[in-house]
Structure 1
Amino acid sequence: MNHSTILLIRHGETPWNAVRRLQGHTDIPLNEEGQRQAAALAGALLEQGVDVLVSSDLQRAMQTAQALSRVQAGLALQTDARLRERCYGVFEGMLYSEIAEQYPDDYARWQAREVDAVMPDGARPAESFRQFYQRCLDAIAGWARRHPGQTIAIVAHGGVLECAYRAARGMSLDSPRDFQVKNASINRFVWDGAQLQLEHWGDVAHLAASVLDDII
């Protein structure tokens, strides 16, 4: 079976990222820095030879992916709601500090990585980490199976990338997250027909290069 290459990309920065306000399914656009990151990302991926481009249907991911679509001739953007960030229920829109103060017990379970704990519902029903993990892996595997032997760029969210990392590394869902998931980072995986294998994590060299270009 032909292996698929998967470039998992986190969206660029948003105003809520900058102040640690929890987004989840709340549809927040990129800020100015996020737009700069998306443009730098698009330039970096010109040399990658992307065959398929898909993103979460939330605008911060779509805006990041659209920057890539604009510079890659003939590369259409497809969306998949299964690639959304985890839904955090009533926590969405709150600062982390506000969650800790107003919902101390739920916050403690979340920080303790209780994988089946569900936050109180808000505008949308919350989901547990286990439910979220399964949703993300099903989506990624589905795209890989549909496009064997091709390079697939998937623009999604920090939580989605975390799930892929854990799956590829065989990490338990309740273990601490000892790795960073950076905005506009490129993370390279291979789908071998049955599971994800991690080749390279956390490439943000393109962002530093863009900063230097701006200075020059």
Structure 2
Amino acid sequence: MTEILLIRHGETAWNAKRRLQGHLDIPLNEEGERQAAALGRALRDKPLDAVFSSDLQRARQTAEAIAAPRGMQVHLDRGLRERCYGAFEGMLYGEVSQRYPEAYTAWQARDIDARFPEGVHIAETLREFSQRVVATITRIVTENKFRRVAMVAHGGVLECAYRAAQGLGFSHARDFDIFNASVNRFTWDGSKLKIEHWGDITHLQELDEEALDELDQT
């Protein structure tokens, strides 16, 4: 049995503005760096056999906050990247709906085989993306004898893992939250993923407390 801590990266400036990132390489903003540091402190005493990350810097920076205090290496894996959205990348949600109304409708309908217009990168269909994500997670845990491993990735990656573990197709509306810097605990028994705990952000409460302390001092 392998425990997987599947973690979403900290906040970026584009997250805050609801601008699509996809494969565009956007760093953490100041809040995201604070979230990553809090995450690292929260997991400091948690035994980990390895830390894996998407190779995009927002995930890599978050993973380093976990690995560096332990003297561990972050193993980068492109398979943990966010979905590639093609021409949508870099655009606000409202801009996508105005410029590509048909493709936007297919996206909102979670059409599993819709491919969005090409941009800097060639877009992935939802089916291709989901298959990539699940294959990557299972490859990492089956190729190694880990008891507990952290994987830092993206919101879309977490959604794919959630649906795979719950047996939910994409026709089912997303009725679960995906938080920046959240810890989502899964187990892998050699054949399937199981969710043990979803959306843990208790470690971010200290940031709210710090903000209140700063207000008290002004």
Please give the TM-score of this superposition, normalised by the length of structure 2.
0.95
Q: Deviations over 1:31-67 (max 9, x none)?
A: 0000000000001111221111000000000000011
**Which residue matches 2:175?**
178
Can you list the C-alpha shifts for 1:154-213, whole angstroms capped at 9, x where unaligned? 000000000000011110122111111000000000001011000000000000123314
Does 1:84 find its partner at 2:81? yes
- Alignment of 1:191 with 2:183, yes or no, is no
In the aligned structure 2, how far is the partner of 1:139 from the partner of 1:41?
Answer: 23
Partner SS, residue 178 of structure 1? coil
Structure 2 partner of 1:114: 111
Aligned to 2:53: 55
Q: Which runs of 4+ in 1 moved over 3 A?
A: 213-216
Q: Which amino acid aligns with 1:164?
A: A
Alignment partners' CA distance in 2, 1:87 and 1:163: 14
Matched-pair identity in %: 54
5+ unaligned residues in a row in structure 1: which ranges?
Answer: none
1:71 counterpart = 2:69: yes
Asked if structure 2 preserves the Cα contact closer than 8 Å seen for 1:65 and 1:77, the reply is: yes
Q: Is the 8 A contact 1:158 1:181 kept in 2?
A: yes
- Root-mean-square deviation (CA, aligned residues, Å) is 1.0
2:28 to 19, 27, 30: 30
The whole-number CA distance in structure 2 between the counterparts of 1:210 and 1:151 is 27
Provide the rounded CA distance (Å) in 1 between the counterparts of 2:35 and 2:4.
20
* Matches of 1:173 and 1:144, distance apart in 2: 24
CA distance in 1, matches of 2:90, 2:98: 14
TM value normalised by structure 1:
0.96
8 A Cα contact 1:57 1:84, kept in partner: yes
Q: Tell me, what secondary structure is at the counterpart of 2:33?
A: helix
Distance in 1, Cα, partners of 2:74 & 2:55: 10
- Tell me which of 147, 150, 155 is aligned to 2:152: 155
Cα distance in structure 2, aligned partners of 1:165 and 1:148: 23
